[in-house]
Structure 1
Amino acid sequence: MDASPAGRALQEEAEPHPDGKLTRERMLACALEIVDRDGVEKLSMRALARALGRDPMSLYRHADNKAALLDGIAETVLAQLTVDPTDPDWVAQLRAVAHRFRHLALTHPHVVPLLVTRPLATPLALRPRGTLRPLEDILALLTRAGFTGADALHIYRALFGFLHGHVLNELQEIVENPDETDDLLRLGLHRLPIKEFPHLRGLATTLATYDGTAELERGLDILLTGLTTTTPAT
């Protein structure tokens, strides 16, 4: 029996629901637990049904197929990304949103590929409503601040393009040999010919002391300063 916290949670989910009903929310919560524990590749309708103690066919009332299930997981996570569209300081609010998104990504690292790729697989109007809520709220925030709708959309795309790249970079395994004391060796950069990659090798210490929070703030400084300059509110 799996005694880990995730395993205990899945065992609890497998017990009969008090009213005997399987809800979409309960199904997606269990699916998210499986992905958090084992990764997306281990999720299947059969595995989910087994974790819930249900017949696999019962799941199709709430998700037509695995693709719909993956969309639902992305929606479940993005539902936790709160945006205050009434904040008078739009820059501060976007910074807060960026840090909340990073926190979600670090909490659910196996879900990050879904957050980045699932929207690309589905036309905008057909995406789960929950995945569109951050977009709608940020558009409301920015148009309230005086930006045109087109500029607000541009800012949203620039922000989340940056955030997606940032979290993917941060989640990479950057230390190859953690027991080495030399940064060049720790990162394996010694394998790169010095004549071909002098700048990259020269950044070994900077790369080895990567600080996700500081890196995010630096990127936001560059991004938001540029956006404020090039797309001023009316």
Structure 2
Amino acid sequence: MIGMTQQVRRAPLTRDRVLRAAVTLADATGIDALSMRKLAQTLGVVPMALYKHVANKEELLDGMLDVLVGEIDPPAAAGDWRTAVRQRILSARQVLLHHPWASRVIESRTVPTPVVLAYMDSMIGMFRTGGLSVDLTHHVMHAMGSRILGFSQELFGAPPSAPPPDAEIARQMAGRYPYITEITTRVAHDEASVVGSGCDDQFEFEFSLDLLLDGIEGLRLRGWTPR
């Protein structure tokens, strides 16, 4: 037949497709490089087409976090509360390790989305059905903080790369700050650690998590109540 043309059938643009493309783009280029224009180019659409599915970049970021929360394992069907909570939090950590930009976005949010609220409600439910009182669970959620979503907010961020100090400066530092020097000059475990080369991020995360869970179980067994 003469004059016939074939049109390439493109997958329809949906909110889910937009959000997943944004996650993939952030994984590849970093969250700072993510823009509505670049996302539109990736999807092969004009930028205005995106605004039918997300009102602005803030809503886009919220939706991207919703996608990540959906990747976290659901609560274990059986087992004690401590093991179940530990497994789920470590699942959340694996998700964030696959998406290194996510913790920064989480810290920037001021209002949780319904998806994040549902996740938090589910975590609270794991503590409550595990035998923790309402008061103890309230304080536990404060103590857990960002660990509930798989990351720890460190006291200070990672320092910029710099050459080691010369011997005289190192001696002066040791004299002024002996205990800091003591713990920062241990054998390095993880050069990529967010808290310095002397720390193994995964070990430190699990150590803190286990410390909290053991302490929480002790309080539960003692029938802890607020003063």
Fold conserved between structures, TM > 0.5? yes
Q: Secondary structure at the match of 1:203?
A: helix
- Give the C-alpha shift of residue 45 in structure 1: 1.3
Residue 200 of structure 1 corresponds to 180
Instruction: Using the TM superposition, name which of 97-106 and 28-37 deviates more.
Output: 97-106
Residue 10 of structure 1 corresponds to none
Match of 1:229 among 203, 218, 221: 218
Unaligned runs of 5+ in 2: 1-6, 190-198
Distance 1:41 1:20 in 2: 27
RMSD of aligned Cα (Å): 3.2
Aligned residue pairs: how many? 205
Instruction: Using the TM superposition, name which of 55-64 and 17-26 deviates more.
Output: 17-26
Distance 1:104 1:82 in 2: 9
- Give the C-alpha shift of residue 111 in structure 1: 1.6
Residue 46 of structure 1 corresponds to 37
- Give the C-alpha shift of residue 217 in structure 1: 2.3
Q: Does 1:107 align with 2:107?
A: no
Question: Within 5 A, what are the aligned runs for 1:1-234?
Answer: 18=9, 20-84=11-75, 86-118=77-109, 121-122=110-111, 127-162=112-147, 166-169=151-154, 173=158, 176=161, 190=170, 193-206=173-186, 208-209=188-189, 210-232=199-221
- Give the C-alpha shift of residue 151 in structure 1: 3.1
- Give the C-alpha shift of residue 154 in structure 1: 3.2
Q: Percent same amino acid at aligned positions?
A: 26
Q: Cα distance 1:51–1:163, how it changes in 2: closer, same or farther (>3 A)?
A: same
Q: Cα distance 1:206–1:174, how it changes in 2: closer, same or farther (>3 A)?
A: farther
Distance 2:201 2:12 in 1: 42
Instruction: Using the TM superposition, name which of 189-198 and 220-229 deviates more.
Output: 189-198
Distance 1:233 1:57 in 2: 59
Q: Is the 8 A contact 2:94 2:150 kept in 1?
A: no
Q: Is the 8 A contact 1:159 1:223 kept in 2?
A: yes
Residue 4 of structure 1 corresponds to none
Instruction: Using the TM superposition, name which of 58-67 and 145-154 deviates more.
Output: 145-154
Q: Which has the higher helix share?
A: 1
- Give the C-alpha shift of residue 219 in structure 1: 0.8
Q: Cα distance 1:80–1:233, how it changes in 2: closer, same or farther (>3 A)?
A: farther
Task: For residues 159-203 of structure 1, give each alpha carbon's deviation from its aligned partner in whole angstroms, at most 9, with x where no partner exists.
Answer: 23346795455xx657946xx9xxx76xxx938722221111111
- Give the C-alpha shift of residue 34 in structure 1: 1.6
